[in-house]
Structure 1
Amino acid sequence: MGLLDEIVPGTAMILAPHADDESLGCGGLIAASCAAGRPPLVVIVTDGAGSHPGSPTWTAARLRARREAEAEAATCHLGLPPARLAFLRLPDTRSPHAGAGFETAVETLSSLAGEHGCDTILAPWSHDPHCDHESVWKMGLALSRREQMRLLAYPVWGWLLAPEIELDTGVLTGWRFDVTPFQSRKALAIQAHESQYGELIADDPNGFRLPNELLEVFASPYEVFLGP
């Protein structure tokens, strides 16, 4: 059994809070799974329309369409069939943590998992310091309990936590997955998210921009997946 089979024995459902998280945290694994003949289902949870709220030219609707087009281009670089990409379109920065909206999202994810034969969930790490990432981790946890599915975590923003911050994580276990054979594909996928680099949308001085220190993390030849 190879390491890919150990991490994802069957078919994965990858929950990405925003378009780009799938490429940053799981791009190599997505490409490896597609090459192995069992493409995952990638679900982009929020609409991504909140990254440049001060832009007079990039309305929420225009930005939403752009973010989805970027996700389609990125996952195409990774070899993912278009039918294996889904969008929940929940509001960016306001993904629910509980309540009716949360339950509806979990119900939708449950239907998608059954439709696409998923048996393992990959969700953002519970300690990623972003409200949408925390929300999507909770969705993954609720879905895993509801459907008795295996749940793994992948860090994104957690890589930038200050070393002196103490976290109640217990003993962490997991895998370092070598993505060297797919590193060039992953780089192309990350670059496809042009709206998040700062050059495409130049009329919002306070708009979001992927920080260089985060991009440097995901230029490494491995990805990390944490067990329960």
Structure 2
Amino acid sequence: MKVYLQKIQKIIPAQWLENLQYLHSHFIWRWLLSDGSQPKDFSHKSAMVFSPHQDDETFGCGGMIAHKTAQGIKVVVVFLTNGDAAGGCNLDLKNQIIATRRQEAVTALQILGVQTSDIHFLSKPDGYLQNLNEPEKQQTIAQVAELLKLYQPEEVYVPHRKDCHRDHEATFTLVKSAIQSAKIHPDLLQYPIWLFWRSPLFLMLKLSDLAAAYRFSITAVQEKKQQAIAAYSSQLQSLPQGFVKQFLTSYEIFFKTQF
């Protein structure tokens, strides 16, 4: 898929490509909301959200988080990476970015109703999750498993396993291994971030994947989610406007996972 995107980027000007990606993403969202998904009822189950970067949790699950916390339901959020990739080789800039994104995450999650004590940062290097050596991988799985055993969530939310981003796909794999290690049996739901934006959907997903798609109405908390997204001001500057716009709607999409 990376090679496919590189070829497309060489042929199509950047603005045209962004417009094409927006139209593709918008079409997929509309199709899923009208015919391609089932309605998801509100669940009173406790939840743990795993986010590869600071902002994925709000983009993908912000409405669900706000709904649950408004009902007094426990929601824990775990960030796997520190978000430092944008700093290049400048150590001071990296540290500044890490601090900024951590504070933005805390602010966004406070807007969504998550207690600060229920926010955890594992601080792995940004962009590196798929390249963890075996000891690092096992250490990360053990860290996640420990949190799972501590909180015993009834639902776990992770990025889609085919989300077209190395850290996102690695997060799915690491968390799934940790769930098995922790010997717990939560409902596992995948949330798409880059899936509809970066790839032709029907090249990535099988019919069995699409059959597991659910739409969840967040109309009652839509404004709160938009405020939480706005808290990530340092990142919104570098993201395509069309990409951000797809998360400002009144629905979220989740894919239920069978173990």
TM-score category, normalised to shorter length? 0.7 to 0.9
- Tell me whether 163-172 or 91-100 shows the greater mean CA deviation: 163-172
Partner of 1:50: 85
- Counting only pairs closer than 5 Å after superposition, residues 186-197 of structure 1 correspond to structure 2 as 186-197=225-236
Partner deviation per Cα, 1:159-203 (whole Å, 9 max, x = no partner)? 2034376125341213201001111110111111111122xxxxx
Q: Quickly say closer, same or farther: Cα 1:164–1:70, change in 2 above 3 A.
A: closer
In 1, distance between residues paired with 2:213 and 2:169? 19
* CA RMSD between the two structures: 2.0
Amino acid at match of 1:16: S
Correspondence 1:166 to 2:207? no
Structure 2 vs 1, CA of residues 95 and 41 (structure 1 numbering), >3 Å: closer, same or farther?
A: same
Count of residue correspondences: 213
Instruction: Rate the CA distance shift 1:67–1:164 in 2: closer, same or farther, 3 A.
Output: closer
Q: Is the 8 A contact 1:46 1:90 kept in 2?
A: yes
1:220 and 2:249 equivalent?
yes
Cα displacement (A) at 1:58:
6.0
Please state how far the C-alpha of 1:148 moved relative to its aligned partner: 3.6
Tell me which residue corresponds to 1:71. Answer: 105
Match of 1:119 in 2: 154
* Corresponding letter in the other structure for 1:217: Q
Question: Larger helix proportion, structure 1 or 2?
Answer: 2
Counterpart-to-counterpart distance in 1, 2:221 and 2:102: 23
TM-score, normalising length: structure 1: 0.87
Task: Using the aligned pairs only, state the percent identity.
Answer: 28
Contact kept? 1:122, 1:140, Cα under 8 Å: no
Alpha-carbon distance between aligned partners in 2 of 1:184 and 1:164, rounded to the nearest angstrom = 28
- Partner residue, 2:239: 210
1:21 maps onto 2:56 in alignment: yes
Query: In structure 1, what residue type is equivalent to 2:194?
Result: W
Match of 1:183 among 222, 226, 246: 222
CA distance in 1, matches of 2:199, 2:205: 15
CA contact (8 A) 1:159 1:214 kept: no
Taking structure 1 as reference, are residues 164 and 170 closer, same or farther at Cα in structure 2, changes over 3 Å only? closer
The answer for the alignment partner of 2:34 in structure 1 is none
Tell me: CA distance 1:57–1:191, structure 2 relative to 1, closer, same or farther (3 Å).
farther
Q: Deviation at 1:94?
A: 0.5
Find the counterpart in structure 1 of residue 65 from structure 2: 30
Match of 2:20 in 1: none
Q: Which amino acid aligns with 2:235?
A: Q
Pairwise CA distance, 1:144:
2.8
User: Structure 2: any 5+ residue segments left out of the alignment?
Assistant: 1-39
Q: How far apart, CA to CA, are the structure 1 residues paired with 2:94 and 2:59?
A: 23
Distance in 1 (alpha carbons) for counterparts of 2:129 and 2:201: 29
Q: CA deviation at 1:215?
A: 0.7
Distance 1:224 1:73 in 2: 24
The equivalent position to 1:144 in structure 2, one of 168, 179, 182, is 179
- Contact 1:97–1:135 under 8 Å retained in 2: no
Distance in 2, matches of 1:38 and 1:53, equals 39
Q: Deviations over 1:129-176 (max 9, x none)?
A: 111001101112212322243321000011203437612534121320
For 2:77, what is the secondary structure of its paired residue?
strand
SS at match of 2:42: helix
- 1:43 is paired with a residue of what secondary structure? strand
1:79-111 per-residue CA deviation (whole Å, 9 max, x = no partner) reads 111111100000001014662212111111111
For 1:144, the aligned partner's letter is: I
Task: Tell me the secondary structure at the aligned position of residue 50 of structure 1.
Answer: helix
TM-score (normalizing by structure 2)? 0.77
1:206 — aligned with what? none
Partner SS, residue 129 of structure 1: coil
